[in-house]
Amino acid sequence: MAVRWTLRDGLVVFLACLGVGLVSAWPWLVEPSLRPGLPAPFEIRAPRDASVVDSEALAQRRSQLGPRIQVQITDQNATAKLESRLNRMLAELLNSRTAGEMRLTPIAVSPEDEAFLLTQTPQELRKWQTTVEQAQQRMLTQGVVSTLAEDQLQRAAKLQLDQLPEPGRSLGAKLITRSLQGSTNLRTDNSLTQVLLNDLIQQNGVPKIEVKAGEVITVKGEVISQRAYDVLDAFGLISRRPATGLFLVRWIEASIAAGLMLLICRRWRTDLEIPQALLLLGTLAVVQGCKLWFGASVSALAV
């Protein structure tokens, strides 16, 4: 039995067809008309000799150099935490001197270290504490990595405390080592890394594509490669403005095609109801969306 559609039903179907057409024509509004992976609409020849940057080779070189190149800078927050850790350890160590005896300390204390702490005056201990803190600050200014071996870290701390006599020098070095071991105050700076990466690429030479006048860039029907796209872009043949006119044409064409498909279905099934028609149009919109999102690799429908 034939199902009659009301005016409202027809309006809903009409808007749904426009929606399918909008999905199909959307790339013409937001993407260049020529881009890698699309068939070339016509043959294009180089208007003149040119040397064009090969973006594909450049990206490959960046990907090869990128993981190996990092520019690091000191992180103020991490530095402050490490300084605070040393200050806490110094306070615990100095406060462990109570009534002439040693209590629990943040590091292992040798008899020489214990004698040093018990025989120094408060002024001498304060001066020693300041010297240790300044030594750690110099090391943090240079940057500390978390993978540095303990003995190397301790030797570096001793070099920073070379003006102190023993055993204060060794005790201070042990405190600095304990406060820094396994920690870092460095972080990667992406902007400086990019600058260094660009400098290295410039030193090694930017990959170029040499183009001769009259040389064929694209052949009608063949897929546009990235190299061909770079050459077209260098000659100003890639329009990045929205193709409004072409978008409207594609929109109308796709909307009419969706409407014709629906009319054919209704001719063969006169009892086609509005929900079924909308389901059909929705499926078509999903197929078009998959085509745009995944490209020609998703299925034969996207070709």
Give the model confidence (pLDDT) of 121-165 as tens digits.
Answer: 888 888 988 988 888 889 898 888 888 888 888 888 888 888 888
Q: Sign of the C-alpha dihedral, residues 113, 114, 115, 116?
A: positive
SS3 210: strand
Radius of gyration (C-alpha) of the chain in whole angstroms: 36
For the record, the structure tokens of 224 come out as 């546009």
pLDDT of residue 167: 86
What percent of the chain lies above the pLDDT cut of 70?
84
Residue 87 confidence (pLDDT) above 80:
yes
Q: In whole angstroms, give the CA distance from residue 9 to residue 63.
A: 55
Q: Which residue has the higher pLDDT, 283 or 28?
A: 283
The DSSP code sequence of 27-51 is: HHHHS-SS-TTSBPSS-EE-SS-EE
Q: How confident is the model at residue 303 (pLDDT cuts 50, 70, 90)?
A: very low
Closest CA to 34 of 222, 209, 224: 224
pTM: 0.50
Closest CA to 65 of 227, 230, 207, 198: 198
Whether residue 167 is preceded by a cis peptide bond, meaning omega within 30 degrees of 0, is: yes
CB atoms near residue 158 (< 10 Å): 19
Q: In whole angstroms, give the CA distance from residue 57 to residue 54.
A: 6
* pLDDT tens-place string over residues 217-231: 888 778 888 888 888
Q: Which residue has the higher pLDDT, 111 or 97?
A: 111
